[in-house]
């Protein structure tokens, strides 16, 4: 009983520490692996001596194998195939040519700087060719970069992991058996990859077909069916040929994503939660088993090895593999900087260290120590500086392009056209067939469906779009739809038209929903204005001269219900105006202005009779309505009327 309680306590401490590290990392917006490694070392034998992974015996190998399989499956399931298609050439090169470059460069560096034997040097290099989704994905959540860069880093992290693991096994076989026949090495690598791809593709396709047709299963049970199938495919591939299971899990995840399952969003959330738990447990266990003394014993040469890997091998790798790509030099430089190692390197290095020690071969502990040093240095240096590098290189994507609009009517179609003319992707969603038909006639992409359908939102591209705008005629429905989108997809910017005070706050979820346009917007009224041709589409730019007065004049028109600011162009990107918008110098505001003049009067004044509105500078906004206003200071203009009324007025005596 005492032994079982010790293992129970070990698991409790591991899970608690792992989740605690995740919470702290999420709060501080840094890669979780930083705190996972720190907590693991603190709890291990070189720290508080509370966690002893060796108590699990061979069970540690089982936990590592199954957890890594789950992690890589989730990585394959999350790959954006459309985005990968745009960088497919560079991705292929990184997984093939890049692996070879890292293997050779890392092996040479480890031999000459860390003074490892050639065999152990290349074993180390084979373990660090991988990056890994466990580090890359959380990093890209905190650091928003342009989509081609993010897609390439994510694709490399997922696809290179099984390739690197298989390569490491082949190198280990050479060390253990002395078999250095190039034909045998290449064939062993290709056979494992082929078996993994075949089993993963067929198995993933069959699982996807079953899930689609098994309507009698609940959503929760479907998630568990996928989990069981994943483990079965991994075990089958491993049984046929060792280390082919990881590739089977990645491919099955990719195929399942391509199957377009109705419950894909829930499945990805479920697998994401399991992966989070698996990563937390693995890193705590592996870091707790790490000896700090073994890292210190490596000397400064090992630090030099990692620095060469970071500042010479990785940039050369990226330069060669992206030579003919459409990526610019800034994007290539950022990709060169981001190459943190993750769970696959740590787990395989730990298992190989045990195996080499059991076989009486020197170098197992040193290899493991150097791999963990590589993980620590790359994660700390690259992970903590990724945001700064992205800003310096100007490749951040905090303002992702594209918009999805829920609710089709004249005003929403006008906003969609403005986005489209700017070259951004636009999708409209509505349940009204006639409204959808009108939007299609204007060349807009539409979905005839409810925005409550997460499958439709997924197909519309909400997982990668920049803005989500809900503007149906029902304000309460708009707020519900916006909150649902945040819960399911977490888009960068969410806007909704709802009749609430924009300064009021009730809960955290609502605070993430920006109140669009104005605090009190009558959509039906403005749609009628557009239908009757009683509006003008205008634009104005806020300038330093008279900036305060411009703001006051615009706010007065908005409060009078005569003007609605729709979009603001800031830093060459369009954004939906919020009810509490803080204007900046240089903002280009696009608005609609109520024009109540009769049609005949408009024709006599020379106004265009075209139904298609065009942007123009309008005198009602550009010109100052009161001549005396030019002589007033901005502070006087913004001064409340009540204060003006309270000022004493000097009465001059009549002339004598």
397-420 pLDDT, tens digit per residue, is 655 678 999 999 999 999 999 998
Q: In whole angstroms, what is the distance from residue 188 CA to residue 199 CA?
A: 17
The pLDDT, as a whole number, for residue 399 is: 53
The pLDDT-based confidence of 16 (bands split at 50, 70, 90) is very high
Evaluate whether 372 touches 346 at the Cβ level (below 8 Å).
yes
Q: Give the closest residue to 381 by CA, choosing from 99, 30, 42.
A: 30
646, part of any domain: no
Q: Express each pLDDT in 274-289 by its tens digit.
A: 888 988 998 899 889 8
Q: Token pair of 592, please?
A: 């609609």
Residues 467 and 389 in one domain: no
Could you tell me the residue range of the domain that residue 58 belongs to?
1-393
CB 168 within 8 A of CB 348: yes
Overall average pLDDT of the 568-575 stretch: 85
What's the pLDDT at 182?
A: 72
Model confidence band, residue 616 (pLDDT cutoffs 50, 70, 90):
confident
* Residue 412: count of CB within 10 angstroms of its CB: 24
Count of the separate structural domains present in the chain: 2
pLDDT of residue 625: 55
Q: Same domain, yes or no, for 379 and 487?
A: no
Q: Which residue has the higher pLDDT, 186 or 627?
A: 186
pLDDT in tens, 528-561: 999 988 899 999 998 888 888 888 888 888 888 8
CA distance 577 to 589: 9
Is residue 15 a part of any domain in this protein? Answer: yes
Quick one: pLDDT at residue 217? 85
- pLDDT score for 400: 60
602 lies in some domain: yes
Which of the pair, 490 or 368, is modelled with greater confidence?
368
CATH number (domain holding residue 160)? 1.20.1530.20
Let me know: does 247 contact 200? Beta carbons within 8 Å.
yes
Write down the pLDDT at residue 526: 92
pTM over 0.75: no
pLDDT at 434 over 90: yes
Nearest CA to 386 out of 423, 430, 350, 333 is that of 333
Q: What is the CATH number of the domain that holds 559?
A: 3.40.50.720
Q: What's the average model confidence in pLDDT over 345-363? A: 80
- Where residue 598 falls among pLDDT bands split at 50, 70, 90? low
**C-alpha span between 322 and 337 (Å, rounded):** 14
DSSP string, 189-244: HHHHHHHHHHHHHHHHHHHHHHHHH-TTS-HHHHHHHHHHHHHHHHHHHHHHSTT-
Mark whether 304 and 420 lie in a shared domain.
no
Mean pLDDT of 345-352: 82
> Does residue 369 share a domain with residue 428?
no
List the single range of 63-77, 103-117, 171-185, 253-267 with lowest mean pLDDT: 171-185
| 148 contact partners, CB below 8 Å, separation of at least 6 | 83, 86, 87, 326, 327, 331
164 and 121 both lie in a single domain:
yes
Same domain as 446, residue 364: no
**Does residue 18 belong to any structural domain of this protein?**
yes
Residue ending a domain, among 393, 422, 457, is: 393
Lowest-pLDDT range, 297-301, 357-361, 546-550?
A: 357-361
**Angle CA(639)–CA(643)–CA(649) in degrees, nearest 5?**
115
Query: Does residue 643 sit within a domain?
Result: no
pLDDT tier at 615, thresholds 50, 70, 90: confident
Same domain, 283 and 410: no
User: Does position 508 have pLDDT exceeding 50, yes or no?
Assistant: no
Average pLDDT rounded to a whole number, residues 627-641: 44
- Whether 443 and 345 share a structural domain: no
Q: Is the pLDDT of residue 236 over 50?
A: yes
**Range with the lowest mean pLDDT among 9-23, 255-269, 360-374?**
255-269
User: Rounded to whole angstroms, how far apart are CA atoms 325 and 562?
Assistant: 50
Check whether 231 has a pLDDT greater than 90.
yes
pLDDT above 60 for 145: yes
Domain membership flag for residue 652 = no
**Which residues touch 174 (CB under 8 Å, ≥6 apart)?**
119, 180, 185
pLDDT, average across residues 117-137: 86
- Strand partners of residue 404: 427, 468
Residue 637 lies in a domain: no
Among 365, 393, 421, the domain-final residue is 393
User: Lowest-confidence range among 132-146, 197-211, 291-305, 639-653?
Assistant: 639-653
DSSP assignment of 306-332 equals HHHIIIIIHHHHHHHHTTTSS--HHHH
DSSP 8-state assignment for residue 464: T
Shared domain for 72 and 108, answered yes or no, is yes
- Nearby residues of 624 by Cβ (< 8 Å), 6 or more positions away: 549, 553, 630
Neighbours of 399 (CB within 10 A): 16
Task: Note whether 295 and 205 are same-domain residues.
Answer: yes
Q: Is 549 left (phi over 0), alpha (psi -120 to 50) or beta?
A: alpha
Is the pLDDT score of 612 beyond 90? no
Mean pLDDT of 466-484: 91
Distance (Å, whole) CA 172 – CA 237: 19
Residues 364 and 475 in one domain: no
Higher pLDDT, 639 or 178: 178
With respect to residue 326, please indicate whether it lies within any of the assigned structural domains.
yes
CA angle (136 as vertex; 18, 254 as ends), nearest 5: 100
Q: Is the dihedral of CA 193, 199, 201, 204 positive or negative?
A: negative
Dihedral angle, C-alpha 311, 313, 319, 320, nearest 10 °: 170
Average pLDDT in the chain: 83
**Residues 384 and 463 placed together within one structural domain of the fold:** no
């Amino acid at each position: 009983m005492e032994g079982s309680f010790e293992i129970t306590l070990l698991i409790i401490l591991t899970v608690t520490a792992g989740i605690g590290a995740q919470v702290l990392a999420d709060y501080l917006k840094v890669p979780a692996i930083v705190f996972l490694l720190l907590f693991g070392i603190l709890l291990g034998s070189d720290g508080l001596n509370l966690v002893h992974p060796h108590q699990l015996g061979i069970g540690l190998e089982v936990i590592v194998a199954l957890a890594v399989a789950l992690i890589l499956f989730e990585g394959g399931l999350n790959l954006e195939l459309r985005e990968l298609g745009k960088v497919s050439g560079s991705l292929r090169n990184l997984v093939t040519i890049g692996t070879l470059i890292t293997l050779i460069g890392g092996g040479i560096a480890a031999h000459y700087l860390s003074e490892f034997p050639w065999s152990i040097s290349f074993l180390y290099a084979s373990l660090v060719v991988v990056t890994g989704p466990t580090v890359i994905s959380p990093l890209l959540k905190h650091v928003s970069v342009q989509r081609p860069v993010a897609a390439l880093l994510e694709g490399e992290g997922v696809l290179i992991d099984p390739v690197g693991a298989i390569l490491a096994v082949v190198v280990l076989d050479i060390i253990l058996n002395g078999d250095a026949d190039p034909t045998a090495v290449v064939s062993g690598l290709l056979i494992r990859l082929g078996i993994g791809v075949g089993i993963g593709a067929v198995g993933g396709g069959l699982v996807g077909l079953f899930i689609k047709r098994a309507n009698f299963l609940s959503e929760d049970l479907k998630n568990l069916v996928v989990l069981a199938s994943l483990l079965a495919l991994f075990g089958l591939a491993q049984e046929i040929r060792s280390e082919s299971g990881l590739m089977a899990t990645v491919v099955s995840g990719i195929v399942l994503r391509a199957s377009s399952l109705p419950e894909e969003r829930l499945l990805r959330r479920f697998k994401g939660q399991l992966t989070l738990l698996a990563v937390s447990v693995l890193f705590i266990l592996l870091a707790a088993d790490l000896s700090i003394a073994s890292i210190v014993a490596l000397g400064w040469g090992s630090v030099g090895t990692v620095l060469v890997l970071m500042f010479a091998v990785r940039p050369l790798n990226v330069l060669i593999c992206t030579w003919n790509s459409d990526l610019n030099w800034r994007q290539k430089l950022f990709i060169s900087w981001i190459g943190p190692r993750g769970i696959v390197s740590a787990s395989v290095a730990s298992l190989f260290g045990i195996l080499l020690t059991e076989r009486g071969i020197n170098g197992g502990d040193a290899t493991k120590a150097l791999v963990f040093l590589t993980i620590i240095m790359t994660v700390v240096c690259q992970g903590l500086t990724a945001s700064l590098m992205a800003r310096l290189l100007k490749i951040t994507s905090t303002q992702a392009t594209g918009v999805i609009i829920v609710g089709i009517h004249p005003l929403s179609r006008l906003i969609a056209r403005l986005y489209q003319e700017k070259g951004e992707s636009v999708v409209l969603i509505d349940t009204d067939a006639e409204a959808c038909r009108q939007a299609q006639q204007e060349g807009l992409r539409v979905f005839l469906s409810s925005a409550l359908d997460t499958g439709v939102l997924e197909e519309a591209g909400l997982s990668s779009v920049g803005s989500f705008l809900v503007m149906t005629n029902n304000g309460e429905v708009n707020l519900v739809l916006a909150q649902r989108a945040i819960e399911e997809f977490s888009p960068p910017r969410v806007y909704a038209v709802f009749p609430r005070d924009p300064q009021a706050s009730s809960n955290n979820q609502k605070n993430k929903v920006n109140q669009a346009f104005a605090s009190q917007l009558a959509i039906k009224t403005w749609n009628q204005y557009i239908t009757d041709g009683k509006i003008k589409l205008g634009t104005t730019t806020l300038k330093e001269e008279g900036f305060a007065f411009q703001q006051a004049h615009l706010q007065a028109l908005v409060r009078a219900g005569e003007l609605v600011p729709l979009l603001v162009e800031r830093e060459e990107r369009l954004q939906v105006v919020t009810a509490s918008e803080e204007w900046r110098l240089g903002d280009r505001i696009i608005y609609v202005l109520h024009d109540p003049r009769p049609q005949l009067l408009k024709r006599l004044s020379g106004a265009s009779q075209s139904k298609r509105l065009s942007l123009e500078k309008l005198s009602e906004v550009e010109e100052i309505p009161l001549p005396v206003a030019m002589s007033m200071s901005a502070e006087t203009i913004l001064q409340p009327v009540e204060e003006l009324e309270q000022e004493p007025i000097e009465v001059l005596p009549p002339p004598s």
